[in-house]
Structure 1
Amino acid sequence: MSKPFDMELFLAAVLTGSNATRQRHLRQAKMIQAGISERWQLETPWAWKKKHLAWFLDHRLAGRCKATRYYYLLTVRLLARRLERAWVFKC
């Protein structure tokens, strides 16, 4: 039996700002993880590629307002920084 992936521990190195901001990024990262896991059965960010995060931004957030998409983009950028990737995503 394996332990569930701990997103808080994964992002701890790159999370900065107020407590509310850190909690928002964690909540959004867990939503991103759930969406990618549901679509591609990839449980951990180490298995993700740029196309997975781009899919989430383009398709799962399609009906959301611009501000919501922007805040998710910030979280995606944190995930890319933690994965040490130089991925660039459009807003």
Structure 2
Amino acid sequence: MSKPFDMDLFLAGVLTGSRATRQRHLRQAKIIQAEITERWRRETPWAWQRKHVAWFLEHRLGRSSEATRYYYLLTVRLLARRLQKTWGFNL
């Protein structure tokens, strides 16, 4: 049996800011991970492609407020930085 993926450890190197900001990014990253895992069966960010994250931003956050989408976009940028990807998204 394999261990569950540890998002805290994955983002540890790129998280900065206050404790509340770090906790928000971790919470949002775990939500993104859960949604992508449920829809695409891709459990770790290493298995994600740009289309998976774009799907989350467009379909799961489509009716959310502009502020919510912005904060999730910041989290997605942290994930992309950690994965060393040059993903760009327009909201």
Length-normalised TM-score, structure 1: 0.98
Structure 2 gaps of 5+ residues are: none
**How much has 1:86 moved relative to structure 2?**
0.8
Q: Superposed, which structure 2 residues align to 1:9-48 within 5 Å?
A: 9-48=9-48
User: Identical aligned pairs, as a percentage?
Assistant: 75
Q: CA RMSD in A?
A: 0.5
Unmatched runs of 5 consecutive residues or more in structure 1: none
Structure 1 residue 63, shift from structure 2 partner? 1.2
Q: Structure 1 runs of 4+ off > 2 angstroms?
A: none
Q: Matched residue pairs, number?
A: 91
Q: Does structure 1 residue 68 correspond to structure 2 residue 68?
A: yes
Measured against aligned partners, the alpha-carbon deviations of 1:14-73 in whole angstroms (never above 9, x if no partner) come to 000000000000000000000000000000000000010010000000111000000000
